[in-house]
Structure 1
Amino acid sequence: MTGLAALAGFSAIALASSAALADSLTVATWGGSYTQKQRSVLMEPYTKKTGTVVRDAVYTGGLGQIRAMVEARNTVWDVITLGSPETINACAEGAIVELDKSKLTHAADFPAGGITPCGIGSVGWSLVLAYNSKLTGEQPKTWADFWDLKTYPGKRALRRQPKATLEIALLADGVTREDVYKVMRTPAGIDRAFRKLDEIKSSIQWWEAGAQPSDWLSSGNVVMSTSFIGRILEARAEGAPLGYGWQDAFYTIDYWTIVSGGKNIDRAYEFINFATSPEAQAAFSAIQPVAPVNGKSAGLLAPDRLPLMPVGKNLEQNVRYDEQFWNDNLEALNERFNAWLAKG
């Protein structure tokens, strides 16, 4: 009898555990303070509204984590935030679900590019031209100014990768934002970008970690840099004399997606619909320096918040990354870029 009682007890625990999991959802995002803020305005309010407990997980980038789950048929994440190129690739591989737009409550509120076959926009963000205003004096406004070593002497920083770097070089050489990817789709256009980079190569300091540009600018190590807008705003809040501009900044979108093989598909849609509502996206953008993608969210934000993010007139000045171009050409251009760097 004791053995049967123990078995019954174990079965009861297992059933209770399964029931608990059935009433939960696992959402993977970028971790750290980013996820903490999401928890406060997305996960916890969703749980309060629906009763479904949201467990968060840390996504470290790339596709390795979700590929492993899908291939092992052990999908433990339900929803994941992916960058634009990862969304394209994961969708092509079948690692994330092709979305049924009829189940997306707020689909009509999203602009072109805000919804892809497998993702719906979670946030928009920009890579901007940032500068130390004490060192530059007059505000540099264009990428041509970035190349102007006479007016703005000193080191400048670019990210150690061809993506954005080649586009910036062409913009500095007079190509318009509307034509930059047309030019880059030609061998002559790529040659032109590298020739332009040659002009300031000895004055470039290459960054790899997202915190480096704001740190280098604040210390005066460089006078100008590309930077994620959020890092600049954080440094300014601490008193650093940093400025930035929206002209020809580079805009992209992160997407909410559903991992293939999950058993909580309906709840995943329910959470995504909650997280993509105008109110939820505005609430997150009010505490994190990213832009909402839902077109109705900006009107819910405080007016003094809008100049800090790529929305409205700011967004109109941005270059939208052509992720398909980079998916098709990244390997070859990485190889050429690294060989160019190695020349010294």
Structure 2
Amino acid sequence: MVLDLTRRLFSSGLAASAAIATFGRAQAQNSDAVVVCSYGGGFQDAQRKALFEPFTKATGIKVVEATGPSLAKVRAMNMSGNVEWDVAMFVPADFLILVESNLLEKIDYNAINKDILAQVDKRVVQPFGVGALFYSNVIAFNTKRYPTGKHPRTWAEVWNVQKFPGPRILPAGTFVVRPTEFALMADGVPPQQLYPLDLERSYRNLSKIKPHVVKWQTTGAMAPQALVDGEADIGMASHSRIVQLKSEGAAVDFEWNQGLVTADYWAIPKGAKNVRNALKFIEFASRPEPQAELSKLNPVGPVNSSASSLLTPEQAQRLASHPDNLEKQVWLEAAWWAQKTDGKTNIEHNIEMWNAWLRG
């Protein structure tokens, strides 16, 4: 499953950032505006062309852009009583924790076109959010060092520094995608038996690769850049970033096998000033046409099933959600990361383990 969103989780919850901080607050009072927060960079550039500008043209509602969606920022805004964003994109584990923390508005599905909603993958239609896109984190490599076809095809081979020598780049334990699942697959855990994750086992195996990791990535751009620059030969990266770099002539490629596929969510922070406009934006962003356009500009998978018919076979084949690619991958279970034991989420337990492991 994409997300094992249990009833327990839901019942418990029943383009410059400095300029946005000031301008966004003023615009948020305007019923003709909506403040949308996403991840910035080239990805948000693609969203602007595929979603934001067409939404304004279709509705007359101005999109005021913000960047940097995070748990900490939503909590801070909620505590201050000044919620600057109307709608934001969240990685799945953060989304679930926000649900559990009662920091999101419940989606009023009566305000969303039922025909559009019926086309959206049911796995990502949730009480407090709607899926925005599918994507995958994969084995990526520099093709000058390892030509396509002679590259690591499993995480066990990424860990095999005798067969595939060279510096690695892997995600930090504090990143939105953690190295845990990859370390466990590298240690022989079958992809379909990953959850519940054995964190201690993952850190034992991370210790084996640690001397060969030149950098622990904390942003989505770090691994692709390190591979392009030759700083690392092998790493984990978002497949969409590698696809784009490859299309521009960079010496990089990736492997679908044992990729970790998931979805990000559109959600409305509790206390948002323009909930009605936020719902209109979510409805528009869920339509097949803008979904397909975003997939053309940035190879992320549409959650609207009708969007696929608007893509060429070549465009569809490069998406994580294509059936041929899905069968080689495993779904990230964000609900496990959001679960609590001893008053802390598994994300928080993992961060403590990560910090201790780095010092060790």
Q: Which TM-score band applies after superposition, normalised by the shorter structure?
A: 0.7 to 0.9
Measure how far apart 1:112 and its partner are.
4.3
Q: Which amino acid aligns with 1:117?
A: P
Query: 2: distance between equivalents of 1:218 and 1:40?
Result: 26
- CA deviation digits over 1:323-344, x for unaligned, max 9? 222222122222222222323x
Equivalent residue number for residue 150 of structure 1 = 162
Structure 1 Cα separation of the partners of residues 290 and 129 of structure 2: 17
Secondary structure of 1:169's aligned partner: helix
Residues 46-66 of structure 1 show CA distances to partners (whole Å, capped at 9, x for unaligned) of 22222222222x131323433
Alignment of 1:188-337 (within 5 A): 189-208=198-217, 209-312=219-322, 313-327=324-338, 328-337=345-354
Q: Deviations over 1:153-187 (max 9, x none)?
A: 122221121754121122122211111013x2xxx
Q: State which of 177, 193, 210 in structure 2 corresponds to 1:179.
A: 193
Contact 1:125–1:229, Cα closer than 8 Å, also in 2: yes
Distance 2:250 2:112 in 1: 42
Aligned residue for 2:235, secondary structure, equals strand
Q: Secondary structure at the match of 2:237?
A: strand
* Correspondence 1:132-171 to 2 at 5 A: 132-137=142-147, 138-161=150-173, 164-171=178-185
1:97 Cα deviation from its structure 2 partner: 0.8
Aligned with residue 78 of structure 1, among 61, 73, 86: 86
Distance, in Å, in 2 between the alignment partners of 1:18 and 1:120 is 24
Quick check: 1:47–1:54 contact (8 Å CA) kept in 2?
Answer: yes
C-alpha spacing 1:37/1:134, structure 2 compared with 1 (3 Å): closer
Separation of aligned partners in 2, 1:174 and 1:26: 45
One-letter identity of the residue aligned with 1:211: A
Distance 1:104 1:75 in 2: 23
8 Å Cα contact 2:120/2:286 also seen in 1: no
> Unmatched 5+ residue regions in structure 2?
1-25, 339-344
Distance in 1 of aligned mates of 2:145 and 2:182: 22
Change (3 A) 1:139 1:78: same
Match of 1:116 among 122, 126, 136: 126
Compared with structure 1, are the counterparts of its residues 260 and 337 closer, same or farther at alpha carbon in structure 2 (3 Å cutoff)? closer
User: Which deviates the most, 255-264 or 242-251?
Assistant: 255-264
- Which TM-score applies when normalising by structure 2? 0.81
Provide the rounded CA distance (Å) in 1 between the counterparts of 2:292 and 2:358. 41
Q: Which moved more, 1:211-220 or 1:67-76?
A: 67-76
SS at match of 2:106: coil
How far is 1:225 from its partner? 0.5
How many positions carry a matched residue from both structures? 321
Write the deviation string for residues 284-321 of structure 1: whole angstroms up to 9, x where unpaired: 11112322112221221122222322112213322222
Alpha carbons 2:292, 2:308 under 8 Å: kept: yes
| Contact 2:138–2:239 (8 Å) recurs in 1 | yes
Q: Which moved further from structure 2: 246-255 or 36-45? A: 36-45
Q: Is the 8 A contact 2:27 2:33 kept in 1?
A: no
Q: 1:211 and 1:33, CA in 2 relative to 1: closer, same or farther beyond 3 A?
A: closer
Distance 2:181 2:29 in 1: 50
Quick check: 291-300 or 209-218, which moved more? 209-218
In the superposition, the TM-score normalised over structure 1's length comes to: 0.84
Distance 1:28 1:202, change over 3 A: closer
Deviations 1:185-216 (A, max 9, x none): xxxx3333233223332212233233222222
Tell me whether 1:338 sits opposite 2:355 in the alignment: yes
Specify the alignment match of 2:18 in structure 1: none
For the aligned residue pairs, the C-alpha RMSD in angstroms reads: 2.5
Contact 1:91 1:98 in 2 (8 A): no
Q: Which residue of 1 aligns with 2:342?
A: none
Secondary structure at the counterpart of residue 170 of structure 2: strand
SS where residue 61 of structure 1 aligns? coil
Partners of 1:164 and 1:250 within 8 A in 2: no
Q: How does 1:40-55 map to 2 (within 5 A)?
A: 40-55=49-64
What SS does the corresponding residue of 1:21 show, helix, strand or coil?
coil
